[in-house]
Amino acid sequence: MILQRYLLKDIFSHTGAVGLVFLLVILASRSIQYLEQVSRGELSLELVFWVILFRLPEFLELIIPFSFFLSMVLVIGRLCSDNEMIILEQNGYSNSRLLKLFVVASLFFALLTSLFSFWVTPTSKSNLDNIYQQTSFKEDFNSIQPGRFIFLKDGSVFYAEEKNNEIFSNIFLNFSNPKSKNSESFLTAKKSFISSEDPNLVFFEEGQSFSKDGKNQVKMSFELLSMNAGKNFFLGETSNQKNVNEVQLSGLKNIWKMSLPLLTLIAVFLALPLSKIKPRQGRYSKVLPCLIVFLVYLGLLLLVKGWLDEGRITFAPSLLLVHLSFLLLGLILMSKFSPLRTD
**How many other C-beta atoms lie within 10 A of the C-beta of residue 30?**
16
What would the pLDDT profile of 266-312 be if each residue is shown by its tens digit? Answer: 999 999 888 887 767 777 788 999 999 999 999 999 998 888 777 78
Can you tell me the distance from the alpha carbon of 128 to that of 53, in angstroms, rounded to the nearest whole number?
Answer: 9
- The segment with the largest mean pLDDT, out of 11-25, 69-83, 167-181, is 11-25
What would the pLDDT profile of 65-87 be if each residue is shown by its tens digit? Answer: 999 999 999 998 888 887 777 78
Average model confidence (pLDDT) for the chain? 81
pLDDT at 179: 59
- 108 vs 245 pLDDT, higher one: 108
Q: 0.85 exceeded by the pTM?
A: no
What are the boundaries of each domain within the chain? 2-139+244-336, 153-235
3-state secondary structure of 228: strand
Q: Which of 30-44, 81-95, 132-146, 169-183 has the lowest mean pLDDT?
A: 132-146
Q: Is 192 exposed, middle or buried (0-12, 13-18, 19+ CB in 10 A)?
A: buried
Confidence of residue 250 (pLDDT cuts 50, 70, 90): low
pLDDT at 9: 92
Confidence of residue 155 (pLDDT cuts 50, 70, 90): low
Q: Are 334 and 92 in contact (CB under 8 A)?
A: no
pLDDT at 232: 44
pLDDT at 12: 95
Confidence of residue 234 (pLDDT cuts 50, 70, 90): very low
- For residues 210-230, give the mean pLDDT: 77
User: CB under 8 Å to 105, separation ≥6 — which residues?
Assistant: 8, 11, 12, 68
